[in-house]
Amino acid sequence: MAETLDAEKVRKVAVLARLKLSEAEIGDYATKLGNILKYVDTLNEVNTEGVVPMVHAVELSNVFRADEVQPSLPRAAALQNAPKTDGTFFLVPQILEDK
Amino acid sequence: MSIIGATTGELLSRLERGELTSVELTTAYLDRIAQQDDRVSAFLTVNTAEALQQAADVDRRRQAKQPVGLLAGIPVAIKDVLCTKGLKTTCASRMLANFIPPYDAHVITQLRNADAVLIGKTNMDEFAMGSTTETSAFKITRNPWDLDRTPGGSSGGSAAAVAAGMSPLALGTDTGGSIRQPAGFCSVVGMKPTYGRVSRFGMVAYGSSLDQIGPFANDVNGAALLAQVIAGHDGRDSTSVNAPVPAYSQTVNQPLAGLRVGIAKEHFVEGLNPEVEQTLRTALQVYKSLGAEIKEVSLPHTSYGVAVYYLIAPSEASSNLARYDGVHYGHRAEQFSNMIDMYATSRGEGFGSEVKRRIMLGTYALSAGYYDAYYLKALKVRRLIRQDYDKAFEQIDVLASPASPNPPSKVGEYSANPLAMYLEDIYTIGANLAGLPGISVPAGFTEAGLPVGLQLLAAPFEEEKLLRAARMYELATKWQGQRAAL
């Protein structure tokens, strides 16, 4: 830990997060996220040797249900909020080259 | 007797006695919204036509002596993070500005089954990320007690709607205090149930291991009734717990004999406003006078809660919000060069700055080389926090604290310093990290007339005890029924 954030690192994280940021946002996040990271470093004070990580508040495992066919969302309803659709599929930009 | 400001119980008995119809009642609230909401800005969508239709339907069935549900004819305002079939659900984000859910959240189905009237959708911090309702992409909600101040957040619209008499009941969600803190700031009752008590199906996810839906009301009994209606098992949320739901509304008026009220010595720290501290001390005197025993306990890891939360919640958020890619629903950019660029541009345009900040923080905390140091470390300290509470609840029934260390902030106060805003969550986030139920009840006002909330926490699934303890306090004090002069 004790990491500092520079603009370069913010750019890298933005690529991982699939977020296009403006130069102003990159500068702003470098400072503000840097402050937050400095703050969370206080966790280093805590001895967590042998402590099992707590992933969830209710620690359930293997919730089973019967494998039965249930009605699902009709196609029209599933597509009703699509930014682009032909009525059958969600349309996205072409990702494979024409040969 | 006035409709506006009446408790849910009073409204139900007048409906049952035939002194009032749901159409009259719903119309009164819709009028109140029309008169007041241009100043308070609690609502994003007012569901006028459907609400009146639901009301008329309940009236018809009630007059025909047909059976009706527990909330028959009572308006409920809904935080805009809960999917309502056919009714716009935006999460106060440009990303979902035009999103119309094709299905209802489980809690909405429960409300419909209880014959409640869905009066409208309330403003919130964008994707529930914030403590002031200022990160909404659409409007800033004002605190009805002081219009220059925020109502708290992220469920600020729901809290303000109840405080301003625009709905007797409302639903909110609480990931780090987003029900309890605004309830305190607006002088209404707000409860976060135990994690798993209420199904999250159809709630737009923020931090999935922390999120829980809960009630707002203008008295504890209203909150008990609404909690009873929304709680219960639902197979569509695999973390929903399959345990019977007690009839909270039937037991809420029974005082608890031998009640042990805890206070944590770690809660009395620098940064706690003296007037807020005095309010808590006065509340403890009230409990003493009711025969309760006050016990000091220790929660040694309290000061690490905020750091743990602001690693875990953004990590979960960065994963949950990956679904907004401009393909299935939500905003898609007009201009982009390829598929990946379409994702990044759509997300860059659709999300506001607090949401982007938390996605960035979470992505960083989960990224290769940092996962162990940040996310895993936070999960380990989370367990220590839970163990602190487990130990404390061996000695006490409820833990009392302020809902927030300071009175509501001025609009714009935290815009330059998000960390300062995060630190204000110190009293509420422990319950989310540990999965405990918590409630905030009105506990008085500062010299300047700003509301202060008393928070009570209990052990998991002890909502009944929590509500009864809160009701004892409400009946012994004069804060219930006091309304903001708008």
Please answer yes or no on whether B339 and A95 come within 8 Å at the CB atom.
yes
At B292-338, the pLDDT tens digits run 999 999 999 999 999 999 999 999 999 999 999 999 999 999 999 99
The sign of the torsion formed by the CA atoms of B453, B458, B460, B462 equals negative
Considering only CB atoms, which chain B residues are within 8 Å of A27?
none
pLDDT of residue A99: 67
User: Can you name the CATH fold of A7-44?
Assistant: Histone, subunit A (1.10.20)
At B210-236, the pLDDT tens digits run 999 999 999 999 999 999 999 999 999
- B30 at A interface, C-beta within 8 A: no
8 Å CB contact between B39 and B75:
no
Is B178 marked active-site? yes
Distant-in-sequence, close-in-space partners of B119: CB < 8 Å, separation ≥ 6: B26, B29, B30, B33, B46, B47, B51, B75, B76, B77, B166, B167
pLDDT of residue A1: 45
- B269 at A interface, C-beta within 8 A: no
Please answer yes or no on whether B360 and A52 come within 8 Å at the CB atom.
no
Measured between CB atoms, which of B304, B322, B340 is closest to A43? B304
Please answer yes or no on whether B419 and A82 come within 8 Å at the CB atom.
no
Does the pLDDT at position B247 exceed 80?
A: yes
Please answer yes or no on whether B380 and A54 come within 8 Å at the CB atom.
yes
Please answer yes or no on whether B356 and A25 come within 8 Å at the CB atom.
yes
Considering only CB atoms, which chain B residues are within 8 Å of A10?
360
Band of pLDDT at residue B374, cut at 50, 70 and 90: very high
Considering only CB atoms, which chain B residues are within 8 Å of A19?
344, 347-348, 351, 356, 359-360
pLDDT, mean of residues B161-183: 98
- B356 at A interface, C-beta within 8 A: yes
pLDDT, mean of residues B347-359: 97
Going from the N-terminus, what domains does chain B have, and what CATH number goes with each?
Answer: 8-259+466-476 (3.90.1300.10)
Cis previous bond, B154, omega within 30: yes
Residue of A nearest to B362 (CA): A17
Side-chain half-sphere of B430: how many Cα atoms within 13 Å?
Answer: 32
Residue of B nearest to A73 (CA): B102
pLDDT, mean of residues B178-196: 98
Distance CA B293, CA B299 (A): 19
A75 CA to chain B: closest CA distance, Å?
A: 11
At A14-52, the pLDDT tens digits run 999 999 999 999 999 998 888 899 999 999 999 999 999
Considering only CB atoms, which chain B residues are within 8 Å of A82?
327-329
Domain ranges in chain A are 7-44
8 Å CB contact between B177 and B429:
yes
Please answer yes or no on whether A17 and B382 come within 8 Å at the CB atom.
no
Please answer yes or no on whether B239 and A60 come within 8 Å at the CB atom.
yes
Residue to substitute from B364, B371, B383, B415, interface A, most A β-carbons within 10 A: B364
At B383-410, the pLDDT tens digits run 999 999 999 999 999 999 999 999 999 9
Side-chain half-sphere of B422: how many Cα atoms within 13 Å?
Answer: 26
Residue of B nearest to A17 (CA): B363
pLDDT, mean of residues B401-420: 91
A99 CA to chain B: closest CA distance, Å?
A: 18
Considering only CB atoms, which chain B residues are within 8 Å of A89?
none
Band of pLDDT at residue A2, cut at 50, 70 and 90: very low
Distance CA B457, CA B465 (A): 10
Band of pLDDT at residue A56, cut at 50, 70 and 90: confident
Is B303 marked active-site? no
Considering only CB atoms, which chain B residues are within 8 Å of A11?
none
- B148 at A interface, C-beta within 8 A: no
Please answer yes or no on whether A40 and B383 come within 8 Å at the CB atom.
no
Element at A36 (helix H, strand E): helix A23-40
Is B154 marked active-site? yes
- B457 at A interface, C-beta within 8 A: no
CA nearest neighbour of B74 among B17, B157, B14? B14
Distance CA B62, CA B153 (A): 37
The whole-chain average pLDDT of chain B stands at 97
Is the whole model's pTM more than 0.80, yes or no? yes
ipTM: 0.93
Side-chain half-sphere of A72: how many Cα atoms within 13 Å?
Answer: 4
Size of interface A-B (CB pairs under 8 A): 170
Residues 45-64 (B) with a CB less than 8 A from some CB of A: none
8 Å CB contact between B121 and B45:
yes
Q: Which of B22, B131, B136, B154 is catalytic?
A: B154
